[in-house]
Structure 1
Amino acid sequence: MVYVIIAIFLAYIIYKYQNSKQKETQVSNQNNLLSVINQKDINEQQKFISRDFSNALIVDNENHLHIFYNKFKKQNGEFEIGYAEYSPDQIMESEIIIDNQLIQKTVRSSQLAGIAVGGLVGGGVGAIIGGLSGSKSSEDKIKNVDLKILVEDMSKPSYKINFLTNFDPDTNLEYKKGYSKDSGEVRAALNNIEKWYGIMEILIRQQNKVVEQ
Structure 2
Amino acid sequence: MVSFSYHDKIELKKVGKEDIQLKKPNLYMSISLIAVLILLLTWLIFGFVKFLVVLFFMVVILYISFYVKKKFFKKRKKDLIIENFEYELLKIEYFIPSQRFYSSDLSNLIALDEQTESICIIERKTIVRKNKKIRIQNKKEDVFNFVVLSYKDLLQSEILEDKRVITTTVRGSQVGGTLVSGLLADGMGSVIGGLSSNSSEKSEVKNIQLKLVVNDTNKPIYLIQFLKEQEPINKNNNKYEMAVDQVNHWHGIISVLIKRADENSRQVNYFFGVQHRDVHGIN
**Quick check: TM above 0.5?**
yes
Q: Which amino acid aligns with 2:123?
A: Y
Name the SS for the 1:197 alignment partner: helix
CA distance in 2, matches of 1:45, 1:31: 17
The question of 1:56 aligning with 2:109 is answered yes
Any unmatched runs of 5+ in structure 2? 1-51, 129-138, 174-187, 270-283
1:199 paired residue among 253, 269, 273? 253
- What's the offset of the Cα at 1:44? 2.9
- For 1:209, the equivalent position in structure 2 comes to 263
CA distance in 1, matches of 2:75, 2:141: 11
Name the SS for the 1:155 alignment partner: coil
The question of 1:98 aligning with 2:161 is answered yes
Per-residue CA shift, 1:120-153, capped at 9, x if unaligned?
A: x3xx55xx321224xx3xxx22222111111111
Q: Which amino acid aligns with 1:109?
A: G
Per-residue CA shift, 1:84-123, capped at 9, x if unaligned?
A: 01112211111101122211111112643116xxxxx3xx
How many residue pairs align between the two structures?
189
Task: Say if 1:79 and 1:97 are closer, same or farther in 2 by CA, change over 3 A.
Answer: farther
> Are 1:29 and 1:78, in contact at CA under 8 Å, matched by a contact in 2?
no
Q: Which amino acid aligns with 1:180?
A: N
Any unmatched runs of 5+ in structure 1? 116-120, 167-175
Name the SS for the 1:109 alignment partner: coil
The question of 1:156 aligning with 2:219 is answered yes
Percent identical residues: 24
Per-residue CA shift, 1:174-213, capped at 9, x if unaligned?
A: xx32332122222221111111111111111222233333
- For 1:114, the equivalent position in structure 2 comes to 191
Name the SS for the 1:44 alignment partner: coil
Per-residue CA shift, 1:51-89, capped at 9, x if unaligned?
A: 55432222221111111122x234688743221011122
Write the mapping of 1:14-93 to structure 2, written as runs, cut at 5 A.
14-40=66-92, 42-51=95-104, 53-60=106-113, 61-70=115-124, 72-74=125-127, 79-93=142-156
Name the SS for the 1:163 alignment partner: strand
Name the SS for the 2:197 alignment partner: helix
Name the SS for the 1:208 alignment partner: helix
- For 1:144, the equivalent position in structure 2 comes to 207
Provide TM-score, normalisation by structure 2. Answer: 0.58
- In angstroms, what is the RMSD of aligned CA positions? 2.6
- For 1:173, the equivalent position in structure 2 comes to none
Q: Which amino acid aligns with 1:205?
A: K
Q: Which has the larger radius of gyration?
A: 2
Provide TM-score, normalisation by structure 1. Answer: 0.75
CA distance in 2, matches of 1:13, 1:44: 40
Write the mapping of 1:124-143 to structure 2, written as runs, cut at 5 A.
124-125=194-195, 128-133=196-201, 136=202, 140-143=203-206
> Are 2:105 and 2:225, in contact at CA under 8 Å, matched by a contact in 1?
no
- For 1:172, the equivalent position in structure 2 comes to none
CA distance in 2, matches of 1:73, 1:201: 31
Task: Say if 1:155 and 1:198 are closer, same or farther in 2 by CA, change over 3 A.
Answer: same
Q: Which amino acid aligns with 1:206?
A: R
Task: Say if 1:82 and 1:204 are closer, same or farther in 2 by CA, change over 3 A.
Answer: same
Q: Which amino acid aligns with 1:210?
A: N
